[in-house]
């Protein structure tokens, strides 16, 4: 349904596709978002589908997304499947004229992502990527402090995620892909760097695999030059054993012309200027359905889904729209290219390499 047709239809009827590991967080959060009503579920795996239907009291269940989109009158669809199915499902939703949310990673390739953004654009349906880390309350607090000029003009930053948490027990597919930490987790950390410092023009990266039991890389160090003049380091590791395991915390350091900001362990936000040092507590608010250690992520799921309903209500483009996410995906691609070829990558190089060409990229992304 197009943006203008959606306005005034509240509560918005939605359906969720993919009832796996992470979808439970979406479903819990939808219960807490006023203005949203999940009326149907879909999963190709019947056992998962019926278990989710039973747990969340949803009776209209489908094993085929096309059948669901044909039979239900939906305002939006929330796609929480893994990346391999995203392209086909987003295009199916666009062809059905249904506003679409798609989990990260949005697409396997930039070309797929352009096609998905273009399909929703041509169908005039809103599209948001569930790129939720930037929506964590502590990350939002950092963004708000920088916006308010708390440390003057930022000139350097570090966004860091280091852990040895066993993600593979909940998400076994993460051990099997050629790509791991940058595609799965680094994508959030790169998106946070964009959120805080703006778009980047150049990427230099290196990566390695420490854990011999997985296929892809589990350590990456990335340097970004941002259009704003900020230089930032994005680093992530699933091979870092710390005395105090911090999963899923992202630590942030920013140096500015008038002071420094540090998002430290356990969500302690320190702002230091000539006027003194202030410590703010940015712990995520407790939710009735939170489960340790996922509280910050679960809070961000609620925040991004509330944002989606605000956007449907007002006709605004989501902050993490499909178009916006093209820039985050370009950073992921640039990171792999830089690490593979041992050189810095100018983001314009990727735009030119797209089969849509430079002009095609700009048309879709801007």
- Residue ranges binding ligand NAD (CB under 6 A): 17-23, 42-45, 48, 65, 80-83, 85, 89, 103-104, 132, 171, 184, 297
Contacts with ligand 89V: how many residues (CB under 6 A)? 6
- Give yes or no for residue 184 binding ligand 89V (CB under 6 A): yes
- Give yes or no for residue 185 binding ligand 89V (CB under 6 A): yes
Query: Of 171, 204, 206, 221, which one interacts with ligand 89V (CB under 6 A)?
Result: 171
CB of 184 to ligand 89V, least distance (A): 5
Of the two residues 304 and 339, which places its CB atom closer to ligand NAD in the complex?
Answer: 304
Of the two residues 79 and 118, which places its CB atom closer to ligand 89V in the complex?
Answer: 79
Compute, in degrees rounded to 10, the torsion defined by CA atoms 190, 193, 198, 200: -50
Cα–chain-centroid distance for residue 82?
13
CB-neighbour burial class of residue 266 (10 A; exposed 0-12, middle 13-18, buried 19+):
exposed
Please give the full DSSP string across 16-46, using - where no structure is assigned: EE--STTHHHHHHHHHHSTTEEEEEEE-SSH
**Residue among 348, 334, 121 at smallest CA distance from 357:** 348
Of the two residues 61 and 353, which places its CB atom closer to ligand NAD in the complex?
Answer: 61
**Cis peptide bond prior to 11, omega within 30° of 0:** yes
118: which residues sit within 8 A by CB, 6+ positions away? 364
Query: What does 185 interact with, of ligand NAD, ligand 89V, none (CB < 5 to 8 A by kind)?
Result: ligand 89V
Q: What is the per-residue burial (b if ≥16 Cβ within 10 Å, else e) of 40-72?
A: bbbbeeeebbeebbeebebeebbeebeebbeeb
Residue nearest ligand NAD, Cβ-based: 20
Of the two residues 83 and 145, which places its CB atom closer to ligand NAD in the complex?
Answer: 83
Task: Give the tokens for residue 9.
Answer: 């239809």
Phi, psi of 85, deg, nearest 5:
-95, -5
Query: What does 167 interact with, of ligand NAD, ligand 89V, none (CB < 5 to 8 A by kind)?
Result: ligand 89V
Query: What does 56 interact with, of ligand NAD, ligand 89V, none (CB < 5 to 8 A by kind)?
Result: none
Of the two residues 248 and 299, which places its CB atom closer to ligand 89V in the complex?
Answer: 248
Residue nearest ligand 89V, Cβ-based: 185
Cα–chain-centroid distance for residue 148?
24
Query: Of 120, 167, 222, 302, which one interacts with ligand 89V (CB under 6 A)?
Result: 167
Question: Within positions 84 to 123, which residues make up the interface with ligand 89V, using CB under 6 A?
Answer: none
Q: Which residue has the tokens 């948490």?
A: 165
What character string, x for contact with ligand 89V (CB under 6 A) and - otherwise, covers 238-257? ----------x---------
CA–CA gap between residue 8 and residue 168 (Å, rounded): 43
CB of 16 to ligand 89V, least distance (A): 17
Query: What does 17 interact with, of ligand NAD, ligand 89V, none (CB < 5 to 8 A by kind)?
Result: ligand NAD
Hey, is 152 helix, strand or coil?
A: coil
Query: What does 44 interact with, of ligand 89V, ligand NAD, none (CB < 5 to 8 A by kind)?
Result: ligand NAD
CA–CA gap between residue 255 and residue 84 (Å, rounded): 39
Query: What does 332 interact with, of ligand NAD, ligand 89V, none (CB < 5 to 8 A by kind)?
Result: none
Of the two residues 67 and 265, which places its CB atom closer to ligand 89V in the complex?
Answer: 265
CB of 342 to ligand 89V, least distance (A): 26
Of the two residues 22 and 361, which places its CB atom closer to ligand 89V in the complex?
Answer: 22
Spell out where 6-144 has E strands.
Answer: 12-17, 36-42, 60-62, 76-79, 99-103, 127-130
The alpha carbons of the chain give a radius of gyration, in whole angstroms, of 20
Report the interface residues with ligand 89V, using CB under 6 A.
Answer: 167, 171, 184-185, 188, 248
């Amino acid at each position: 349904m197009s943006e203008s047709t959606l306005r005034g239809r509240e509560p918005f009827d939605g359906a969720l596709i993919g009832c796996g590991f992470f979808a439970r967080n979406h479903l819990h959060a939808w219960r807490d978002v006023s203005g949203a009503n999940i009326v149907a579920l879909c999963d190709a795996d019947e056992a998962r589908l019926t278990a989710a239907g039973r747990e969340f009291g949803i009776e209209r269940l489908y094993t085929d997304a096309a059948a669901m989109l044909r039979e239900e009158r939906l305002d939006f669809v929330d796609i929480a499947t893994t990346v391999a199915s995203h392209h086909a499902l987003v295009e199916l939703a666009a062809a059905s004229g249904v506003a679409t949310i798609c989990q990260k990673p949005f697409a396997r390739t930039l070309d797929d992502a352009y096609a998905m953004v273009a399909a929703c654009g041509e169908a005039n349906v809103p599209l948001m990527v569930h790129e939720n880390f930037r929506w964590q309350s502590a990350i939002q607090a950092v963004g708000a402090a920088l916006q308010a000029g708390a440390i003057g003009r930022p000139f350097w930053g570090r966004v860091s995620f280091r852990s040895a948490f066993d993600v593979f027990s909940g998400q076994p597919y993460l051990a099997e892909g050629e790509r791991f930490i940058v595609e799965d987790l680094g994508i959030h950390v790169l998106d946070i760097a964009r959120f805080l410092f703006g778009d980047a023009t150049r990427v230099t990266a290196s990566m390695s695999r420490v854990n011999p039991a997985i296929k892809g890389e589990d350590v990456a160090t990335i340097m970004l030059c941002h259009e704003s003049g900020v230089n930032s380091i994005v680093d992530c590791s699933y091979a870092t054993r710390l005395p105090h395991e911090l999963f899923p915390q992202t630590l942030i350091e920013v140096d500015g012309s008038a002071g420094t900001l540090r998002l430290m362990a356990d969500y302690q936000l320190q702002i230091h200027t000539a006027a003194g040092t202030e410590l703010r507590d940015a712990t995520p608010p407790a939710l009735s359905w939170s489960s340790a250690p996922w509280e910050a992520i679960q809070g961000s799921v609620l925040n991004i889904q509330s944002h989606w309903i605000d956007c449907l209500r007002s006709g605004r483009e989501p902050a993490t729209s499909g178009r916006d996410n093209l820039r985050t995906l370009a950073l992921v691609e640039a990171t792999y290219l830089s690490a593979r070829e041992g050189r810095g990558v100018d983001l314009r190089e990727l735009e030119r390499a797209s089969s849509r060409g430079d002009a095609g990229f700009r048309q879709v992304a801007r």
